Copies of this chain bind each other. A is one copy, B any other.
Amino acid sequence: MATKTATTNGGKLNELKAPPTIAHHEDTAPRKQAPVPLTVEGIAAQRAKAGKLVAGTAAYSDSDMFKSPHAYNQPKARRWDHLLSPEAVARKPCVLKKAATLLKKPGLLSLGGGLPSSDNFPIESLSMQVPHPPVFDHASIEIPDSDIVIGKHDIRDKDGVFDLATALNYGQAVGSAQMLRWVTEHTELVSRPPYADWQCALTIGSTGALDSALRMFCDRGRKDSILTEEYSFSTALETITPMGINIVGVRVDEQGLLPKNLDEILSNWDESARGARKPTVLYTVPSGQNPTGATMGAKRRKEVYDVCSKHDIFILEDEPYYYLQMPPYDKENSAAQPGAVDTSLNQSTEDFLQSLIPTLLSIDVDGRVLRMDSFSKVVVPGSRIGWVTGSEQIIERYIRHTECSSQGPAGFSQALMYKLLDETWGHEGYLRWLINLRGEYTRRRDALLDACEKHLPKDVVSWTPPAAGMFHWISVDHTRHPHAGQKTILEIEEEIFDSCIERGVLACRGSWFRAERDVEPTGLFFRTTYAAASQADMDVAIQRFGEAVRASFGIENNGIETGSPAKRRRIV
């Protein structure tokens, strides 16, 4: 049997790693899509051809080991030296790693790296109960089929691909070869990046990846600026601000970033007036954006990408909600209705992949996108595993940073996620899981939207049903407020928020997500989520929210009898 060896150091030495064995391709090759797109079956065939993956302790690996041959039939990415921060430029490969190739010498005994012996690991095996494909529904989630087991020496004793002796020792910052293979294959299946030298690296989640990416591209001393949606993920803003990076909000509509506004900002940038350098980076959440819930269509993505190309902007594509793309909301046929049947569960995984809006990565001919994926919203947040995909140059810099910070995801997580995603579900099973989850989120979204239709005063409250993700963005028409002249938007927002709390519901104030805190807001919004509350709680919560809005606007309830009399009494 053929074997694919990712081991280069006999499992002895963390610090000494082999240099990349990147396949090289002609830059003069015609720029075209891979002729035969990779499929789930194609992955199986590719693995069979490559042979068993052999990757021991701290084995070196990179995505080139796992990409299909078609991935290479494209030009290489551009170089981004002119955008990198002084910190990123200064990172050097570990001096110890330079000796890596030496470890290939047969019979070499290492007294080099301080890796503990797995003899001293007190964990003999881990087991896990999970539901199995092909069918996922609530029943199967409650009653798992069987236990999955990973032992300490499965590689040695059971011809296994991964084991605890490997997973729980020090590893490579890029992640284990076992998990890197899976994310590389999945990325090619979904995005097929249109350049040859793309690479993946595991992350400890997208919040961690964003912190690293910002430090790679932005610098306080250079007075750097970053673009983002005018309402943006508050943790991202709180990550950016202390670094001394200037945040520039781009106007959005129900499809997110407005390319025209993006172009205007960049075309008219006045460095001295702004006191900051023209932006070089865009941070965006294209699908189910947090907090607005907006999802860019394919055309919008291309337009945004083109403006970024025009102004040489590097794009951080943060896509935790990408797979939570849902069918349009139809209030007559809400998926939250009792007895509603989700026919999409029978969709083929190929059709599912086809139905997804193309990623920015998939149209990135320049290699100017660093895409951030995460398992947090689609498996569990507690794996603290995600991955980034970008050009070889950018991923190499990312890995250098990771070696000196997180060192990559936890071994417990890598072992368990590998057993779940690769050995138990496989790519087909994972896609089926995503199809199931999409149905679950559609039901949740529809329950919240049903409640909004039922309880909210539409003369002053409006919204666009989200097409992806877990957030619903509610617009309140402040111009129709009785005190519109006297009170600021923020004061009205606060009044409604306080009234909500008094009535027993918490919704997030829109102003908490403003990209530019010092600019006066022009709209009044609240962010709600359908991720966690039960259908019944969502109904009561939205009713209370509606009551709070009515109370602030002095609107009488329109007579729909919901909620307890005691609660309704409060309004009038």
A residues with a Cβ closer than 8 A to B are 12-13, 15-16, 86-88, 90-92, 94-96, 99, 102-103, 105, 107-117, 119-131, 138, 141-142, 144, 147, 164, 167-171, 204-205, 207-208, 211, 220-221, 234-235, 238-239, 241-244, 290, 376-377, 379-385, 403-407, 409-416, 420, 433, 437, 440, 448, 470-471, 501, 504-508, 512, 528-533, 537-538, 540-542, 544-545
What B residues does A244 contact at CB under 8 A? Answer: 86-87, 90
Do B506 and A406 touch (CB < 8 A)? no
Do A167 and B382 touch (CB < 8 A)? yes
Do A501 and B205 touch (CB < 8 A)? no
Do A382 and B242 touch (CB < 8 A)? no
Give Cα A294 to B537, complex, Å. 61
A-B contact pairs, 21 of them (CB 8 A): A94-B238, A96-B234, A108-B506, A109-B505, A111-B448, A111-B508, A111-B529, A111-B533, A112-B506, A113-B532, A115-B381, A122-B141, A126-B127, A204-B204, A204-B384, A207-B404, A211-B404, A220-B220, A235-B404, A384-B406, A410-B412
What B residues does A290 contact at CB under 8 A? Answer: 114
> Which of B211, B512, B529 has a CB less than 8 Å from the CB of A114?
B529
> Which of B12, B120, B127, B470 has a CB less than 8 Å from the CB of A437?
B120
Do A99 and B506 touch (CB < 8 A)? yes
What B residues does A91 contact at CB under 8 A? Answer: 238, 242
Do A128 and B117 touch (CB < 8 A)? no
What B residues does A379 contact at CB under 8 A? Answer: 121-122
Do A115 and B531 touch (CB < 8 A)? yes
Give Cα A290 to B113, complex, Å. 11
Shortest A138–chain B CB gap in Å is: 8
Shortest A84–chain B CB gap in Å is: 11
Which residue from chain B places its CB closest to the CB of A144 in the assembled complex? B124
Do B208 and A405 touch (CB < 8 A)? yes
Do A533 and B122 touch (CB < 8 A)? no
Shortest A540–chain B CB gap in Å is: 6
Shortest A247–chain B CB gap in Å is: 13
> Which of B111, B120, B533 has a CB less than 8 Å from the CB of A545?
B111
Copies in the complex: 2
Give Cα A94 to B220, complex, Å. 21
Do A238 and B504 touch (CB < 8 A)? no
Do B407 and A208 touch (CB < 8 A)? yes
Do B433 and A410 touch (CB < 8 A)? no
What B residues does A505 contact at CB under 8 A? Answer: 108-111
Q: Which 3 A-B pairs have the closest CB atoms?
A: A382-B411, A168-B382, A384-B410
Do A110 and B235 touch (CB < 8 A)? no
> Which of B105, B112, B138, B415 has a CB less than 8 Å from the CB of A529?
B112
Shortest A552–chain B CB gap in Å is: 17
What B residues does A115 contact at CB under 8 A? Answer: 381, 531-532
Shortest A340–chain B CB gap in Å is: 17
Give Cα A411 to B379, complex, Å. 12
Shortest A287–chain B CB gap in Å is: 14
Do B412 and A416 touch (CB < 8 A)? yes
What B residues does A512 contact at CB under 8 A? Answer: 95-96
Given contacts A86-B244, A124-B131, A384-B410, 12 further A-B contacts (CB under 8 A): A87-B242, A96-B512, A108-B504, A108-B505, A110-B541, A123-B130, A125-B129, A207-B407, A382-B410, A382-B414, A384-B409, A412-B412
> Which of B87, B131, B383, B433 has a CB less than 8 Å from the CB of A411?
B383
What B residues does A508 contact at CB under 8 A? Answer: 96, 111-112
What B residues does A243 contact at CB under 8 A? Answer: 87
Do B111 and A507 touch (CB < 8 A)? yes
Do B117 and A532 touch (CB < 8 A)? yes
Shortest A443–chain B CB gap in Å is: 11
What B residues does A242 contact at CB under 8 A? Answer: 87-88, 90-92, 404
